[in-house]
Amino acid sequence: MSGVKSVQQAKTAALGRGGVPAPCVPDQHTKGGPAVRKLLSSVVSEFDRPVHAVDVVTAIDQCLPLPDLVPCLNPLCDNKCSWSKGAGRPREYCRRSCRQSALRTHARLTDEMMLIEQVLAQGGVRYTDRVRLEAHAAQARWCLRRYTIGGQ
């Protein structure tokens, strides 16, 4: 797996329970403790003048860091993708096969929803069949919301 920038459920301070990024809240004030990290928006809101790019650049260093390890975009995958600081496009999926699997599942769900819409639009569907078809389409739509299919 050379060249693959993913790790299996790696632990990182940037992620909270279940691999979900920790909520973006300022750290607690502690006397003598480390510097308080804030949200970028709260740092720039403290300016009493128009904010410029140089202000934002400076503020970034004072803010909570962004997560550099996030879940793979395949909702059925538990792997993580790390942020690539170098050149090149950052990974959205842990590996090519995972992306292909997500694309196939997305296509399947879309096809099933379209098929159900077509047969329901024909009319004359028995009540029990309609209920079953609408339930299946609703489940497919529910699953589909988890897929953020884009290019990679």
Contacting positions for Zn ion (CB under 5 A): 72, 74, 77, 79, 94, 98
Instruction: Give pairs for 32-39: CB < 8 Å, separation 24+.
Output: 35/62, 37/62, 37/63, 37/64, 37/65, 38/62, 38/63, 38/64, 39/63, 39/64
Residue 85 Cβ vs Zn ion, minimum distance, rounded to whole Å = 21
Task: Give the whole-angstrom CA distance, residue 100 versus residue 76.
Answer: 12
Residue 72 Cβ vs Zn ion, minimum distance, rounded to whole Å = 3
Residue 112 Cβ vs Zn ion, minimum distance, rounded to whole Å = 23
Q: Residue 77 or residue 137: which is nearer to Zn ion going by CB?
A: 77
Residue 101 Cβ vs Zn ion, minimum distance, rounded to whole Å = 8
For residue 70, the cross-strand partners are: 81
Q: Residue 38 or residue 99: which is nearer to Zn ion going by CB?
A: 99
Q: Residue 77 or residue 109: which is nearer to Zn ion going by CB?
A: 77
Q: Residue 93 or residue 113: which is nearer to Zn ion going by CB?
A: 93
Task: Give the whole-angstrom CA distance, residue 22 versus residue 137.
Answer: 33
Task: Give the whole-angstrom CA distance, residue 78 versus residue 81.
Answer: 10
